[in-house]
Each structure stands twice: as C-alpha cells, then as structure tokens.
C-alpha cells in the first residue's frame, strides 16, 4: 500500500513539473521566425477545420487537424512573403482579441472587420476582403423569398456575439432580435431546430451554409434593400497588436493582391470546403470521418480531468493535514500557523466561490496580459482544474477527517507519534476511504466540466464536437455521439471506483484465525 | 523506596469556570502500582490525561525524572513513548491490522526496524494470547480482545510507566477478567503502572498504593490494607460502602 502511494505521488510530481516547465515561454513578439495567426477554424469558407492536409491546408498548432479556407490561404501568402513560418492557432471568436493583446498570437485573420471599438485595443491592416451582409434562413420558411431587410416582420433573428452583424439586426423593421450566439455552428443548430428563423451573416458564409445543408438558403436582397453598412464593417482586415513591426510589410503584401486573385481564392475556398452530405449510416460515418478527432478530444478530456482530480486530491490531503495541526506552544509559531490556515480558507472560498470558466479566462489571458507569462493552454487547463478541484476536495477530506473517531488522534499522540505520522499512517487512510464516493463525484464532475475550458480553446471533447458539428452540420447526431462518449467515460469511472472501494474494504468473509504468518497453531482459549 | 519517576506538584486544571483538579500532589516510584479510585467526576481521568499532557494543566508542575515536562525544551514525543496510555475505549487504529497497530508506533516513534518491531510485537501478543489475531482488523475483535491489543501496543513501546484510564469500563462483564489478568501479569514484571479503575477487588489485589480522589483533590492515600481495611475519611468510607457491598 505504501509503495503504491509513493509511486503514485512520484508520477504526479514528475508529470506536473514536466508540464509546467515544458511549455511556458516568455510573452509576446518574441521573433522566433513564426507568424502565429489566430482564427476560429469554424467559419467556412473563411476558415475551417479538416482532418487531412488536402488543398494546401495548414496544421493547427498542437493538434492533428488542419485548417483551410480563404483566411488560411491569405495567411500563407503573407507568411511566405514575410519569410516566416505560418502557425495557425485555433482560437474562439471571443478569445481572439485577448490572445492578440496578450501576445499569444501575432495576427488575427478570421474574417474580422476593423470596427472603431476594436481599433481602441488593436490595429488593423488594409482590408483583405470586402463582404456583404445577408440573412440565412430555412428554405421552406416564409422568409426565404424576402427581398428586403424589412420583409422579416415577426421573425426571430440573431447573429454572432461581438460582431457588427448583430448590430445590423436593428435595421430590420419588426424583427424579434434574439440574444446573440457564440458561433456559426450554434446558430445553424438553432436555425435547424426552429428556435430562430434566421441569422445575419456574410455572403460567403451564406453560400457555404446552403451548399452544406440543402435545407438552408441565403436571402438575396434587391438593390438598395439590403443592410446599410459602413466600410469599416464590410471590410475584413487583419488584426495586429498596436505598434506591430510588420504592419507596413503586410499592407504592402496585401496591396499586391489583385481583385481577381481574391475572387479566385474565395471561389477555391467555397469549392474546397469539406463535403458533408455523406450517405449510409450517420453513426458509422461520424466515427469513420471524425473518429480520430473524437479520440484526441476524449484523450484531452480524460487527461485534464484525471490529472486535475489527482493533483486536486493531493492538494486536498495536504490542506487537510495543515488544517488539523494542533496549536503549537510558542506564540510566533501559533501566529504563523493561524495565518497559514487563514490563507487556505481564502483559497478554498475563492476557488469554490467563482465559476471555473471565469478562473480559466483570468488565468490564461490575465497572466499573459498583466504578468507577461505566456502559458500553454493545456498547462493552464491542468492548473485551473487542479486548483479548482483541490478547493473542493479539501472540504471533502475535512469531512472525512472529522468522521474519524477522535480517540485515534489521542491514542496516536499518547504514543508519541507526530502530527504528520498520525495523519499519514492512521487518520488519512480512513478519511480517504470515507471520502472516496465524494471524490468519485468530483472526478465525474470534472469530466463534464472540462467542457467550459473551451473558453481558452483547449481542444477537449466538447470543443472538438463543436468543431465537428461546424463541419458536418449534423448537430444532433454529433452531439448524440459525444453524449454517448461522456456517458461511457463517467460510467466506467464510477464502476472503477466502486471496485477500488471494495478493494480497500478488504474481503467480507475474512477469517481472523487463518493468516499466512501463523506463529503457532491457535489453541482454543480456556 | 527506590527512585522517583513521576512527581506531580500542585496540579490544577479548570475547564472554564469548572475546577476539576484543585491541588494534586503525588509521587510515583519505580515499579510502583498506583491505583486511583473515586466517584465519576472526581477528576481521576483528568489527572491521568494531565500526566500525558493530553490535557494541558492550568497550573502546577509535572516532573519526569526531575525534569519539567512542560518545559519548551522537553522532548514530549519521547516522553509520551516512555509513558504509555491505555484508554477506556481502546482507540485502536481502525485502518490497521492488529500487528500493524503494534508495529507502526514502534517504527515511527522509536525508529525500530520492521523486523525488530514485528518480532517484538509478536512476542507481546503471545503473552496477551492475541497472537492468532495478528491479521485481523480491530472491527473484527471483541471488546476484551481490543483492549488486550491496546495494552500490547503500549507495552511494545517499552514504557517506563503505563497509564490505564478505566480500561475495563467499556467491557462486557465476561471480558473484564481477561483484561485484568493481563494487567496483573504486567504488574508482576515490575512495570510502573498508574490505574484509574472501578474494580475494587482488582485494586486491592494489585496495588502498592491506593489513592482516593474526591472533588479534585486527593482525599486519602495509603496501602490497600489501609484504604480498604481501615479508611480514615468519611467520604472514603461512604464511597467504599457502596462498592464493597456489590462485591
């Protein structure tokens, strides 16, 4: 038993040290010959994710997936002319600006418009594409034949969060503006399921949507009946950090691209989008086409929740040991101990009292922006889940310690055992056994809750499923498969822990009179 | 008499307003068996727990071989290893087997090797007739068996003094004799023992000195013959009348 504990602790220590040092490099603008470009990889035809390197796709940083699309092809040309290696960093739309300002990427090429609001925090190059707004709706909807933005009376319309698309809805008379949504895949799900009647989008995206899903169509507005837009909105530009050294060079490169070049690239992008209209059994198709991605996502989810739970468990044990230290005699030591215990309660209250999604955003973007620490997102995820779980498990272990009869503490001190010896040899083994069902709970919660880490674009299972759904437009089917994977994971874990608990309890029909180290044949007592 | 091991001077203990020990003075010499009798609430257990510093005294001194055990420089862990304690509720370590209950304290406090600790443990368990149960967990033992393991655990530390806090009070009557005979055997080895008990016959048979406590002070002290045969104080007579009638 002791050896297992030691090996366990060693493994975790090695793992956490390795992870924390391998990936953290100093912040921003370190000119290492790469051109790091952030994009969603989920906004076809500008950018999307695919599972092969077909049509000149570029591998997405830290994954076995490739990005392609108009943005990727444009980025390739720019990187080549800058003499740098292109690195595509898959980032959620909301994460693009903080990623740029905190130096995690060098540029945003993601179909982003240079709005005045965005110009406050970052700079933009000249436009690399000019788009027009449209509305995507269902083919059989009464709004499909609309010719003007005012033909949508009573329609429930939405658009992507933090885009000018969403503001443009205000121009449509009589529509019911719905809460903005995170990304295009989400809006397509909403449209298909009927919770909205349409969403505002740009024409290339509209073409993609109707190509990919025959049930959807893009509205064609009559001349002068479309959205009123300003150049700062319809222009798509490359976002760069203020004072970025390569901005002028990029503008020169953009200047050399002719209108014909750009149309050709967009046509290619529309033509090269991953096809989704697969025939045959949908379940087998999803597994065949995206099995690898799902496996990687599942692996990441398992890694984060497993390491998070184990490290959190160790944190919980240490906190449990410290919080039960009896008050020492000397005043100085007592003060120090009191302060330490106070710090621990602050830690527990803060991490239990705030959502993990917020903690992840603060740590990942905050550390980069305020302290200049550029953390690898997987490391950030591991750290956050571990610390967060640690706070919960500390309380669980405290309950476990309380449930051990205090006489055993007394007996141990009466024998001269130190607090550490008492805790590690007598109390904690019992406390841990008592806490195990609650710790299993934490583990299962972690498996599911790692999905919130998509805020820092960690490609765990949920993030992966969003990507897949964004590609194949089979939202219900994809999420059903992912649901099944989550269920298999959590079910396996709960069974596994039941077995561990039984093992810890020892055999039920234990015969005390038979033992392998018999010193003599037991004789019946008087 | 021979060398003094423990000396208690003007010991006082209050819990809030409640004064449990008022002014205790006593001396324990090597090899002496001292039993403490008295009513519930007279402070017997508190005194015993004070000797081990499980309860810090409010005032007064406890000297072990002439050294103040409340001194900052005093090695309390080693002292506790030398002054063992047996509890009313056994307080065995529930996660450990009988053998480990006895080995772990030896190894962690006295730094004995595993082999030495095991050999020692088995020898003592044999004396207690508990050797067939070395692989059992405490939950699988009866009360009397548990208490014999608890005694073995303390004895394995090779203590100079063993404190017994009502060791048979939580036992069924038929199990009391096993424990008492184990204790009698121990007393015969010359181990210094301080026993808080309600077993008057046992106290009479085993003790060198009997101490009657009443309301936080030592009301009367003497040999078993003096205390049980010819008690001087009214309170002692009152108390013994009730008990001896039952015997």
pLDDT per residue over A433-469, tens digit each?
A: 889 899 999 999 999 888 888 778 788 888 888 888 7
Mean pLDDT of A20-35: 53
d(CA B77, CA A418): 7
pLDDT per residue over B193-232, tens digit each?
A: 999 998 888 899 899 999 999 988 899 999 999 998 888 8
d(CA B91, CA A399): 20
pLDDT tier at A139, thresholds 50, 70, 90:
confident
User: By the CB < 8 Å criterion, does B104 face chain A?
Assistant: yes
Domain boundaries defined on chain A: 31-128+236-272, 133-228, 282-507
Topology annotation, domain A282-507 = MetI-like fold (1.10.3720)
Q: Is the pLDDT confidence value at A155 over 70? A: yes
Q: Choosing among A416, A503, A523, which should be mutated to test the B contact, i.e. which has the most B CBs within 10 A?
A: A416
A31-128+236-272 architecture in CATH? 3-Layer(aba) Sandwich (3.40)
Nearest Cα of chain B lies from the Cα of A404 at a distance, in angstroms, of: 9
Q: Which residues contact B97 (CB under 8 A, 6 or more apart)?
A: B134, B135, B136, B137
Q: Which residue of A has its CA nearest to B131?
A: A519
Q: Is the pLDDT confidence value at A28 over 60? A: no
* Predicted local distance difference test score (pLDDT) of residue B155: 93
Taking CB atoms and an 8 Å limit, are A515 and B134 in contact across chains?
A: yes
d(CA B44, CA B94): 27
Mean pLDDT of A186-205: 85
Nearest Cα of chain A lies from the Cα of B47 at a distance, in angstroms, of: 14
pLDDT tier at B37, thresholds 50, 70, 90:
very high
pLDDT tier at A373, thresholds 50, 70, 90:
confident
Q: Is the pLDDT confidence value at A363 over 80? A: yes
Measured over the CA atoms of residue A474, residue A476, residue A480 and residue A486, the dihedral's sign is positive
pLDDT per residue over A67-83, tens digit each?
A: 888 899 999 988 998 88
pLDDT per residue over A314-326, tens digit each?
A: 999 999 889 888 8
Q: Is the pLDDT confidence value at A111 over 50? A: yes
The domains spanning A31-128+236-272 and A133-228 adopt the same CATH topology: yes
Q: Choosing among A414, A515, A526, which should be mutated to test the B contact, i.e. which has the most B CBs within 10 A?
A: A414
Nearest Cα neighbor of B158 from B78, B56, B89 is B78
d(CA A380, CA A400): 30
* Predicted local distance difference test score (pLDDT) of residue A115: 84
Highest-scoring range by mean pLDDT, A11-15, A158-162, B208-212? B208-212
Q: Choosing among B100, B132, B148, B167, which should be mutated to test the A contact, i.e. which has the most A CBs within 10 A?
A: B132
Nearest CB to A416: which of B78, B91, B96? B78
d(CA A6, CA A512): 29
* Predicted local distance difference test score (pLDDT) of residue A417: 92
Q: Which residue of B has its CA nearest to A420?
A: B108
SS3 A256: coil
Q: What is the mean pLDDT of chain B?
A: 89
Nearest Cα neighbor of A15 from A25, A5, A4, A7 is A7
pTM strictly above 0.95? no
Q: Which residues contact B153 (CB under 8 A, 6 or more apart)?
A: A415, B92, B101, B102, B105
Nearest CB to B132: which of A417, A425, A513? A513
A512 vs A194, residue with greater confidence: A194
SS3 A1: coil
pLDDT tier at A26, thresholds 50, 70, 90:
very low
Element of type H or E holding B66: none
CB atoms within 10 A of CB B118: 19
Q: Is the pLDDT confidence value at B36 over 90? A: yes
Taking CB atoms and an 8 Å limit, are B131 and A415 in contact across chains?
A: no
Nearest Cα of chain B lies from the Cα of A407 at a distance, in angstroms, of: 5
Nearest Cα of chain B lies from the Cα of A440 at a distance, in angstroms, of: 21
Helices (H), B41-166: 44-51, 76-82, 98-109, 114-127, 143-155
Taking CB atoms and an 8 Å limit, are B157 and A512 in contact across chains?
A: no
* Predicted local distance difference test score (pLDDT) of residue A523: 47
ipTM, two decimals, is 0.90
Q: Is the pLDDT confidence value at B32 over 70? A: yes
Q: Is the pLDDT confidence value at A96 over 80? A: yes
Mean pLDDT of A134-142: 87
Q: Choosing among B79, B95, B111, which should be mutated to test the A contact, i.e. which has the most A CBs within 10 A?
A: B95
Q: Is the pLDDT confidence value at B93 over 90? A: yes
A interface residues, B as partner, C-beta within 8 Å: 329-330, 404-405, 407-408, 410-418, 421, 425-426, 429-430, 433, 506, 510, 512-513, 515-520, 522, 525
Taking CB atoms and an 8 Å limit, are B96 and A426 in contact across chains?
A: yes
Report phi then psi at A222, rounded to 5.
Answer: -70, 160
CATH superfamily, with its number, for domain A133-228: Periplasmic binding protein-like II (3.40.190.10)
Place of tokens 């497993």: A306
């Amino acid at each position: 038993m002791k050896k297992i504990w030691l090996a366990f602790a060693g493994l975790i220590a090695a793992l956490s040290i390795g992870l924390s040092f391998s990936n953290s490099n100093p912040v921003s603008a370190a000119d290492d010959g790469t051109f790091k470009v952030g994009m969603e990889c989920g906004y076809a035809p500008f950018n999307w994710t695919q599972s092969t390197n077909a049509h000149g796709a570029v591998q997405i940083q830290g994954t076995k997936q490739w990005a392609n699309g108009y943005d990727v092809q444009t980025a390739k040309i720019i990187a080549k002319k800058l003499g740098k290696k292109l690195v595509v960093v898959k980032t959620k739309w909301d994460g693009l600006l903080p990623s740029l300002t905190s130096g995690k990427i060098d540029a945003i090429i993601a179909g982003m418009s240079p709005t005045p609001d965005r110009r406050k925090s970052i700079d933009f190059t000249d436009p690399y594409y000019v788009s027009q707004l449209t509305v995507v709706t269902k083919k059989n909807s009464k709004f499909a034949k609309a010719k003007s933005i005012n033909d949508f009376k009573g329609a429930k319309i939405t658009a992507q969060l933090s885009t000018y698309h969403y503001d443009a809805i205000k121009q449509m008379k009589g529509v019911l503006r719905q809460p903005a949504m995170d990304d295009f895949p989400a809006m397509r799900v909403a449209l298909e399921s009927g919770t909205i009647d349409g969403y505002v989008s740009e024409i290339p995206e509209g073409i993609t949507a109707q190509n990919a899903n025959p049930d959807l169509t893009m509205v064609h507005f009559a001349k002068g009946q479309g959205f009123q837009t300003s150049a700062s909105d319809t222009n798509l530009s490359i976002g760069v950090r203020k004072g970025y050294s390569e901005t002028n060079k990029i503008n020169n490169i953009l200047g050399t691209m002719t209108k014909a070049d750009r149309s050709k690239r967009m046509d290619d992008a529309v033509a090269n989008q991953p096809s989704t209209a697969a025939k045959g059994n949908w379940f087998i198709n999803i597994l065949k086409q995206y099995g690898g991605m799902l496996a990687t996502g599942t692996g990441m989810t398992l890694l984060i929740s497993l390491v998070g739970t184990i490290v959190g468990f160790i944190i919980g044990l240490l906190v449990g040991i410290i919080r039960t230290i009896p008050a020492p005699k000397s005043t100085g030591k007592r003060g120090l101990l009191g302060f330490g215990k106070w710090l621990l309660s602050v830690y527990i209250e803060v991490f239990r009292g705030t959502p993990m999604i917020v903690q992840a955003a603060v740590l990942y973007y905050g550390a980069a922006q305020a302290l200049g620490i550029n953390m690898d997102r997987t490391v950030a995820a591991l750290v956050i889940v571990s610390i967060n779980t640690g706070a919960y498990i500390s309380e669980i272990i405290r309950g476990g310690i309380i449930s051990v009869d205090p006489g055993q503490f007394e007996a141990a001190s009466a024998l001269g055992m130190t607090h550490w010896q008492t805790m590690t040899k007598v109390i904690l083994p019992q406390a841990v056994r008592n806490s195990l069902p609650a710790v299993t709970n934490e583990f299962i919660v972690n498996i599911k809750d790692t999905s919130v880490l998509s805020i820092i674009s960690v490609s765990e299972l949920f993030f992966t499923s969003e990507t897949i759904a964004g590609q194949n437009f089979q939202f219900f089917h994809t999420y059903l498969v992912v649901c099944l994977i989550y269920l298999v994971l959590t079910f396996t874990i709960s069974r596994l822990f039941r077995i561990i608990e039984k093992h810890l309890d020892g055999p039920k029909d234990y015969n005390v009179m038979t033992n392998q180290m018999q010193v003599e044949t037991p004789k019946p007592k008087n | 008499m021979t060398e003094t091991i423990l000396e208690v001077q003007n010991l006082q203990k209050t819990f809030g307003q409640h004064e449990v020990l008022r002014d205790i003075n006593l001396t324990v010499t090597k090899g002496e068996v001292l039993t403490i009798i008295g009513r519930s609430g007279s402070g017997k257990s508190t005194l015993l727990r004070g000797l081990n510093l499980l309860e810090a005294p409010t005032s007064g001194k406890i000297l072990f071989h002439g050294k103040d055990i409340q001194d900052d420089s005093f090695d309390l862990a080693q002292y506790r290893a030398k002054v063992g304690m047996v509890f009313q509720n056994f307080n065995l370590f529930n996660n450990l087997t009988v053998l480990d209950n006895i080995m772990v304290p030896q190894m962690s406090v006295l730094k004995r090797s595993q082999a030495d600790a095991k050999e020692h443990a088995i020898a003592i368990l044999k004396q207690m007739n508990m050797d067939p149960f070395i692989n059992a967990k405490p939950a699988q033992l009866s009360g009397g068996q548990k208490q014999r393991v608890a005694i073995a655990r303390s004895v394995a530390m090779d203590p100079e003094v063993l404190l017994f806090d009502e060791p048979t009070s939580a036992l069924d009557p038929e199990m009391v004799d096993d424990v008492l005979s184990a204790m009698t055997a121990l007393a015969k080895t010359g181990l210094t023992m301080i026993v808080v008990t309600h077993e008057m016959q046992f106290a009479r048979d085993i003790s060198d000195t009997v101490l009657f406590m009443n309301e936080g002070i030592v009301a009367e002290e003497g040999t078993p013959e003096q205390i049980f045969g010819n008690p001087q104080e009214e309170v002692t007579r009152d108390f013994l009348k009730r008990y001896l009638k039952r015997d």
